[in-house]
Amino acid sequence: MLHYISESELLASLKFGKEDGWLSAFYSCLIRKHEKEYVVEAKFKELERESCSISSSSGQMMKNNIDVLACKAEYYHQSGEYQKCFELTSVLLERDPFHLKCTLVHLAAAMELGHSNDLYLLSCNLVKDYPQKAISWFAVGCYYYCIKKYDQARRYFGKATGLDGTFPPAWFGTGIAYAAQEEGDQAMAAFRTAARLFPGCHLPTLYMGMQYVRMHNFKLAEQFFMQAKSICPSDPLIYNELGVVAYNMKEYQNAVQWFELTLTHTSSSSNEMWEPTMVNLGHALRKLKQYKKAISYYEKALTFPTKTLSAFSGLAYTYQLMVFP
């Protein structure tokens, strides 16, 4: 419900005793998931240090605490480290199959990785154990979305929102499933509902901006992305989308600045999730005739396993322009 900055201000306003330093550190780990990797890791180390100051046994216990590890898994997911996230949540769910927050992160990672079998088994177990919980039917929706049966996915995401209208992932899932079928009006309706219900979350506004990009309404898309930026200024995906908008509006210098800001805000620019950003940055630099810089980003993009045709063609075209301007 709170914006990113409001969360930080609330945490700063809390009065902790000397013996409660671990609690303050734990709360700080629950927020700021879009910070640089070294900042987030420092938060977790601070939590371990505060716990160790009480006793060595409690420090070790806090280090292996499932809530702390689930928080770390969530950070991995938001950083695009989906395989690391999935491996960690798999271990945690073996220890505690009933940890629903960890289950939610596990579902999100499995969906990103396309692990439809895992989604099927987990959704069956959840429906059997928790038929009245939104997360169970959300899991079923994730499975159908993963196998590209979007009508069924929408139906189960809708069932999840019917059971619990304050369950954000189901609203996002509904909108994304509609968007996958090019049903923009229904997708926007789901995202608007989510934005109204969860004013502290920037994702509905971000998704609405993405929908306007698909409709080639770049001015309106830019407004929504700027609104998302005001809610969560540390999410690199927002800067990437602003770069896409600027590029499509032929504002290439602005596009370069936004794409560079994207890579500045990422927890790790070596993550293959940001390969398209590097390719787009190369395209924008090529448009500005900064060929050497463009080549450096194309070549960096080609170091990732997910090599795209766009990176190869962009690199080839840039070399051609250097010879035949």
Residue 197 CB neighbours (<10 A): 16
Cβ-based burial of 25 (10 A; exposed 0-12, middle 13-18, buried ≥19):
buried
Burial 240-269 (b: 16+ CB within 10 A, else e): bbbbbbbbeeebbebbbbbbbbbbebbbee
Q: Please give the Cα distance from 248 to 103 (Å, whole number).
A: 39
Q: In degrees to the nearest 10, what's the CA dihedral of 82, 164, 142, 185?
A: -100
3-state secondary structure of 133: coil
Measuring CA to CA, which residue among 260, 250, 267, 265 is closest to residue 300?
260
> What does the pLDDT read at residue 81?
86
> What does the pLDDT read at residue 239?
96
- Could you tell me the pTM of the whole model? 0.86
> What does the pLDDT read at residue 57?
47
Residue 266 gets which letter from DSSP?
A: S
According to the 3-state scheme, what is the secondary structure of 176-192? HHHHHCCCHHHHHHHHH
Structural domains for the chain: 114-198 (1.25.40.10)
Q: Please give the Cα distance from 1 to 196 (Å, whole number).
A: 10
What are the residues whose beta carbons fall under 8 Å from the beta carbon of 198, sequence distance 6 or more?
1, 168, 204
Q: Please, where are the H alpha helices in the chain?
A: 4-13, 21-30, 37-54, 56-63, 66-78, 82-95, 100-113, 116-129, 134-146, 150-163, 168-180, 184-197, 203-214, 218-231, 236-248, 252-265, 275-287, 291-301, 309-323
Q: Please give the Cα distance from 112 to 110 (Å, whole number).
A: 6
Q: What is the pLDDT along the chain (325 residues), one digit of tens a residue?
A: 777 778 888 888 988 887 777 787 788 777 766 666 666 777 777 776 766 655 444 455 566 778 888 888 888 888 888 999 999 999 999 999 889 989 999 999 999 999 999 999 999 999 999 999 999 999 999 999 999 999 999 999 999 999 999 999 999 999 999 999 999 999 999 999 999 999 889 999 999 999 999 999 999 999 999 999 998 888 899 999 999 999 999 999 999 999 999 998 886 666 788 999 999 999 999 999 999 999 999 999 999 887 788 999 999 999 999 988 7
